[in-house]
Amino acid sequence: MKSYLAAALQMNSLPDLQQNLTQAEDLIDLAVRQGAELICLPENFSFLGDEAAKIAQADQIAQSSEKFLKTMAQRYQVTILGGGFPVPNSIGKVYNTALLVGPNGEELARYEKVHLFDVDLPDGNTYQESQTVLAGVNLPPVHPSKEFGNLGLSVCYDVRFPELYRHLSQMGAEVLFVPAAFTAYTGKDHWQVLLQARAIENTCYVLAPAQTGRHNSRRQSHGHALIIDPWGVILADAGDKPGVAIAAIEPSRLEQVRRQMPSLKHRVFA
């Protein structure tokens, strides 16, 4: 693992595939020009809006999203995580799929989100992700990278389930991806503190790209894409507008924190 710059992109994705991909490309270009070698895009980066429209266009969204990620990775010679896009399955629903792609355009890792966002919020909004999304059944993978460290995958609502991240740390994760489209209502109270907790308890870097702003008449995201170090220190915050959070990932910092706070070695219960 070397020292490098990582970027967590912040987008305002809409129910418009091509417009979203254009926005994503502009932000990737911005991140690369600032020196980023590892770039992560938020959940629903290629389409966010009406669920019926998403299902109707799922084949096109899936194909275009995967092609886009591979093209961008090759063009800019970077490693890219596409934090979540719909991939159709045999029962008429989709998997919310995160895809990690290397600079040669090769697929490095894939994860189908296991925790689905089915909640009734106090602000009156109801979300039923399971109406259109089928939960994955496999634990998320950790991709070993000599350059970037061991990279653990997750998506959005997963962040409320610490056992998933303990699995990733047990598998050797050093950097955790948490791409999200966190709601504005829950985000203001829970987004930052949950991410800091996952970083601290697993002594890992956290890269959390995010959605921000309004996506349609009823859905609004919190923003604040974050990069957090293994001590829980916020290294970069993208605020509430589309943009880029960028920060250095330092192996010496990871080693220092794990040496000073060796909690992963002190675990009593598996």
Identify the band that residue 216 occupies on the pLDDT scale cut at 50, 70 and 90: confident
Buried b vs exposed e over 79-97: b needs ≥16 C-beta within 10 Å? Answer: bbbbbbbbbbeeeebbbbb
Tens digit of pLDDT for each residue in 155-175? 999 999 999 999 999 999 999
- Cβ burial, residue 241 (10 Å; 0-12/13-18/19+): exposed
What's the topology of domain 4-266?
Nitrilase/N-carbamoyl-D-aminoacid amidohydrolase (3.60.110)
Q: What average pLDDT does the segment 59-73 reach?
A: 98
Catalytic-role residue among 66, 156, 174, 204: 156
**113 catalytic residue (yes or no):** yes
pLDDT of residue 50: 85
Q: What are the residue boundaries of the structural domains of the chain, listed by start?
A: 4-266
**pLDDT surpassing 80 at residue 270:** no
Specify the pTM: 0.97
Tens digit of pLDDT for each residue in 166-205? 999 999 999 999 999 999 999 999 999 999 999 999 999 9
Query: Can you name the residues that pair with 87 across neighbouring β-strands?
Result: 95
Catalytic-role residue among 43, 66, 112, 174: 43
Tens digit of pLDDT for each residue in 25-39? 999 999 999 999 999
Tens digit of pLDDT for each residue in 79-93? 999 999 999 999 999
Identify the band that residue 51 occupies on the pLDDT scale cut at 50, 70 and 90: confident
**40 catalytic residue (yes or no):** no
Q: Which residue has the higher pLDDT, 216 or 256?
A: 256
Residue 245 in contact with residue 237, Cβ under 8 Å?
Answer: yes
Identify the band that residue 123 occupies on the pLDDT scale cut at 50, 70 and 90: confident
Catalytic-role residue among 66, 70, 113, 204: 113
The contacts of residue 95 (CB under 8 Å, 6+ apart) are 86, 87, 89, 112, 113, 133, 134, 136
Identify the band that residue 218 occupies on the pLDDT scale cut at 50, 70 and 90: confident
**pLDDT surpassing 90 at residue 49:** no
The contacts of residue 55 (CB under 8 Å, 6+ apart) are 86, 92, 93, 94, 132
* Nearest alpha carbon to residue 159 among 87, 209, 102, 221: 209
Tens digit of pLDDT for each residue in 103-119? 999 999 999 999 999 99
Q: Rounded to an integer, what distance in angstroms lies between the CA atom of residue 270 and that of residue 258?
A: 19
